[in-house]
Structure 1
Amino acid sequence: MDSLLAWVNLPLNTWLACAAVLMLGAFVQRATGFGLAVIGAPLLLMLEPRLVPAVLVLFVFTVALMMISAYWNEVQLGVVGMALMGYLPGNVLGIWLLLAAPIFLLGKMVAVIVLLTVLVTVCRFQLPVNRITVFGAGVLSGIFGTVAAIGGPPIVLLMHSLPADRVRGNLAAFFILTSMLTLITLVLADQLQLWHFQVALTFLPAVLIGNALAHAVAHRLDRRLLQEASLVLCTFAALGLLW
């Protein structure tokens, strides 16, 4: 274990705490459709800032891949495609912010993004689903997803009135495509190194366990209650970053 921690350059208590955060995030994402990044970004920034956004994006991609086979029939290709068109310019703006902002400002930005996510999720704003709103949600998703790996909430805002499985399917397809784009952008901007893959490999069992637990028990849980509990945790984490 000591040699493993030396390999990833993390102390044991930090590694264990990060593994627990990622396990919880994977559980919530599989159960509700999103949540890995919303939970993970503020908590990981406090525990180990080097993990955000690269490692989070890697695991958002991983969980989406595990989800897509179960919900493929629910995917609306037209909606996902239009959101992806908006994601591209948002991705460019996001990488500029990521490179230009110092780490302390990045933490504040992530906190604001998380609090906005909590606000729109709780208030359940109802917006029309059309090309303009989907494209705009894609732009915001590109910015948020590149800066903090939190690309889901703008899309969820438009889709929250849809059946739960359709939300999960559309988000899984969207996350697979956008995570790949974000990872390519991070490589080009020299924000993704071998160390990120090494440390992600050590956290993979925790993510797989969280995903498997959600697959086994999520249908027995109150989805809304689980989401609300997650949002409370996110709110406290984001407020901690602001202070």
Structure 2
Amino acid sequence: MISEWFTSEALLAAFLIFVGAFVQTSIGFGLAIVAAPLLFLVSPDYVPAPIVLVALFISILNAMKYRSNIEIGGLKIALMGRIPGSIAGGLLLLYVSGDVLALWLGVLVLLAVVISLMPFRIEPTPTRMGIAGFLSGFFGTSSAIGGPPMALLLQHQDADKLRGNLSAFFVFSSMISLAVQAPVGFLTLHHLWITIPLIPAGWAGYQLARMTTGSLPKEKIRLGALMLCSISGATAVWQGIAAM
């Protein structure tokens, strides 16, 4: 029923998606990192498929905006690695409990924060792109958090090129994850229904980022996102440990 879209739970989920979409549009990735652990606490049904659906929507918008900066050739190997990684992530969903998934989400987010703070540079060679694609598929399909492996390799690109390439990668990789989540029961009509009110929230976050990104220093947005990620990741880890 439509009334389900206006419960306190649904409104909180929409707010988290709004914040995540703002972060992803601002720096190129981060929707799931910010939103997934806390959304899982709101309701496990929101992870992973609804987040992936919103990520697909936001990624299409960003890919269109930064289409002139996209270099598809460099992403092909990563997308090839994404397929077996997504299958492995789908199998993980079949065999882990909700408590373990909460802990998994939190650990992945905290790991992403640590990786983002590392000072060294990793060159995106074909082999590394394939490995990053596999890890992105595994993490993205099982938890919706597939951005960090690719962002780590591409983080030193020009800002618009980073946003464009990550968005293009997420468009295709989100489709791959959804194709795997459906047969294992994590993408159903129920998941589609609860995603509907999240789409306008994601669009609002995208629009706010477009209006403010130019005036806000990228480093401040990045540090703010990392702070939010640390809080949400630590909360998810605590919740997972407490429930086990």
TM-score between the two structures when normalised by the length of structure 1 = 0.94
- In structure 1, the residue matched to 2:143 is 148
- In structure 2, the residue matched to 1:60 is 55
> Cα offset for 1:125?
3.3
- Secondary structure at the aligned position of 2:66 is classed as helix
- In structure 1, the residue matched to 2:224 is 229
> Cα offset for 1:4?
2.2
- Secondary structure at the aligned position of 1:125 is classed as coil
Matches within 5 A, 1:212-227: 212-227=207-222
Equivalents in 2 of 1:137, 1:25: separation in Å? 22
Task: Tell me which amino acid in the other structure corresponds to 1:233.
Answer: L
- In structure 2, the residue matched to 1:69 is 64
Equivalents in 2 of 1:125, 1:5: separation in Å? 50
Task: Tell me which amino acid in the other structure corresponds to 2:3.
Answer: L
Matches within 5 A, 1:1-243: 4-6=2-4, 12-243=7-238
Deviations, residues 180-220 of structure 1 (Å, cap 9, x unaligned): 11111111212111111111112222111111111111111
Deviations, residues 123-157 of structure 1 (Å, cap 9, x unaligned): 14311211111111111101110011111110110
> Cα offset for 1:117?
0.4
Equivalents in 2 of 1:227, 1:42: separation in Å? 18
| Aligned 8 A contact 2:54 2:198 in 1 | no
- Secondary structure at the aligned position of 1:232 is classed as helix
Following TM superposition, the consecutive aligned residue runs of length 4 or more in structure 1 with deviations greater than 4 angstroms are none
C-alpha RMSD over aligned residues: 1.2
TM-score between the two structures when normalised by the length of structure 2 = 0.94
> For structure 1, which runs of at least 5 residues remain unmatched after alignment?
none
> For structure 2, which runs of at least 5 residues remain unmatched after alignment?
239-244
- Secondary structure at the aligned position of 2:174 is classed as helix
Question: After the TM superposition, which of the residue ranges 57-66 and 189-198 deviates more from structure 2?
Answer: 189-198
Deviations, residues 157-185 of structure 1 (Å, cap 9, x unaligned): 01111101111011111000011111111
**Number of equivalent positions:** 238
> Cα offset for 1:69?
1.4
* Identity score, percent: 34
- Secondary structure at the aligned position of 1:241 is classed as helix
| Aligned 8 A contact 1:30 1:215 in 2 | yes
Equivalents in 2 of 1:12, 1:188: separation in Å? 29
Equivalents in 2 of 1:209, 1:223: separation in Å? 19
| Aligned 8 A contact 1:41 1:148 in 2 | yes
